[in-house]
Amino acid sequence: MSAPLSSISRHAGALVLAAVLSGCFGAAPPVPKEQYYRLIAIDSPEPGSQILPGIVEVAPFLAEGVMGERPLLFTADQGQKLEQRNYAYWTDAPPAMLRDQLIAYLNAAGVADRVVQSELRIASQYRLQGRIKRLEQTTGGGNGGVIALELSLIDKNSDQIIASGLYEAARPAAGDSIDDAVIALNAGLNEIFANFVADLSRRG
């Protein structure tokens, strides 16, 4: 038995409507794939003379609000407004990632007998504290990356600050992509660590 004429008409009308809507709006764009990035001090320092006799412990860096979250940040007005990148993340939360990079850098530079994570609970003579002040891609009027870290080295026996300062590096990027910004941020991170070691050397 053939289908009623009205049923065929309704089915045909639905097909026509679907074709029209498809033509008007087109196919939905593909969802961008998630990307993951690392903060790395790109240059290995030349080992120097030991500055601190003993062991230095380093805790995860402090960070307020979005500064400690994994989505990458960008700004188009010198940091007045920060926005999170969709589908672009750090491989680890910045407080832990920056701490681990600083430990590796200071050990390579040979500034102390050992530099370790505070979680290891090894008897240490010094405590190194860090705070993330800026960590973002800059866009609109100058592509690049800005990183600013507050670093303080404390003698645990006397509870006196040996060295403390705000270290900031703004590096231009080769282009406007996230990859270019991360390269700029890594170069800035290396600059900050090198300046911190130089300050320790002057106080040693």
Every domain of the chain and the residues it spans = 32-203
Residue 188: name the closest of 174, 164, 202, 167 by CA. 167
Regarding predicted confidence, which is higher, 84 or 80?
A: 84
User: Comparing C-alpha atoms, which of 38, 36, 45, 88 is closest to residue 192?
Assistant: 45
Averaged pLDDT for residues 21-44: 75
pLDDT at 95: 97
- Asked if 197 and 110 count as a contact pair (C-beta separation under 8 A), the reply is no
- pLDDT value for 4: 52
| Angle at which helices 178-203 and 94-109 cross, to 10° | 50
pLDDT confidence of residue 21: 45
Count of other CB atoms within 10 angstroms of residue 105: 23
| Residue 183 three-state SS | helix
Does domain 32-203 bear CATH number 1.20.1250.20?
Answer: no
What would the pLDDT profile of 111-170 be if each residue is shown by its tens digit?
999 999 999 999 999 999 999 999 999 998 789 999 999 999 999 999 999 999 999 999
* pTM of the complete model beyond 0.85: no
Neighbouring-strand partners of residue 164: 152
pLDDT at residue 20 above 50? no
DSSP secondary structure string, 32-98? Answer: PPPEEE-----SPPPP----EEEEEEEPPPB--GGGGSSEEEEESSTTSS-EEEEEEEESS-HHHHH
Give the rounded percent of residues in the chain with a pLDDT score beyond 70: 85
Pairing of strands 71-75, 144-155: unpaired
Output 178 or 45, whichever has higher pLDDT. 178
Contacting residues for 67 by C-beta, under 8 A, at least 6 apart: 73, 94, 132, 133, 134, 135
End-to-end CA distance of the chain: 98
Q: How far is CA 149 from the centre of its chain?
A: 12
The pLDDT of residue 23 is above 60:
no
For residue 201, which amino acid is it? S
Q: What is the DSSP string of 123-148?
A: --SEEEEEEEEEEEEE-SSS-EEEEE
